[in-house]
Amino acid sequence: IEKIAADKLATITAENYPNVTEEELQAARDAVNKEKEAAITAINNATTNAGVDNAGENSAIAINNVQVNAKEKADAISRIEEVLQKQIEQIKQTPDATKEEIDAAIEEATKIAEEAKKAINNPDVNTTEEIAAIEKPAIQEIEKVTATPTSKEAARAEIDALAKAQTELIDNNKLLTDKEKEAAKDAIQKAAELAKSKIDNSDDNSAVDTAKTQGIILIYQMTKNKQLKMQLTKLPKLLR
């Protein structure tokens, strides 16, 4: 029994179990020693040769059946994965974000998770404290990652700026009647709102750019008054 226990203890090492903490290795060693002590007691209490043999056989089986419970690293990695998936779902729901902006945030969060999991699985990380020192900051960093919606906002701002500039040009055009000015400004406003609506409904950066470009063209072309068109074509700013 002593030899069986010693042989079993010799296998319970960090080299043989690289993804197990020192606490988990020690728990397995303690389990082996407990089975050994129980075996010795059973053998000492046996009153017949058959009883000794039976106690020895059962104890040998019990010692060899002791398993190293590799749970702490796996649990930490599982918690990181759970937080990552939750954060990814939140990122996907980011209002006003394009596909590229969402993908960039997901990639950032995933990178943090992967680096943390790799660090936890390092054989040199073999205590509960060391695992926690990697897991907790990683979870905090993952939870901070959000998508940054900028593409749609910038496109809308460009449309608004153009509509404002064009409206000011019309207001300053002395060759137009008040009625013509109001009609032109109303057309510009409608074109701007339509462009921004299309920008809002765009899924990716390419669609945003297309909606913005179409909106710019539409704002330039939205007046039907021939006299107004003629005057506008003389303005270099509008023709850029």
pLDDT, position 109: 98
pLDDT, position 66: 86
Residue 54 CB burial class (10 angstroms; 0-12, 13-18, ≥19): middle
pLDDT band at 238 (very low <50, low <70, confident <90, very high): very low
What gap in Å lies between CA 188 and CA 194, rounded to an integer? 10
Residue showing tokens 């297309």: 210
Residue showing tokens 């007046």: 223
pLDDT, position 228: 56
The model's pLDDT over 15-69, given as tens digits with 9 standing for 90+, comes to 888 788 888 888 889 988 988 899 899 999 988 999 898 888 888 899 888 888 8
What gap in Å lies between CA 240 and CA 162, rounded to an integer? 11
Q: Answer whether 220's CB lies under 8 Å from 229's CB.
A: no
List the structure tokens of 210.
């297309």
Across 131-141, average pLDDT: 97
pLDDT, position 180: 84
Q: Where are the beta strands (DSSP E) in 116-215?
A: none
The CA-CA-CA angle for residues 236, 238, 239, to 5°, reads 65
Give CB contacts under 8 A, 24+ apart, made by 26-31.
27/69, 28/66, 28/67, 28/68, 28/69, 31/66
The model's pLDDT over 3-28, given as tens digits with 9 standing for 90+, comes to 998 998 999 898 888 788 888 888 88
pTM summary value: 0.73
pLDDT, position 236: 41
Q: Is the pLDDT of residue 210 over 80?
A: yes
Residue from 191, 186, 184 nearest 231 by CA: 184
Q: Is the pLDDT of residue 143 over 80?
A: yes
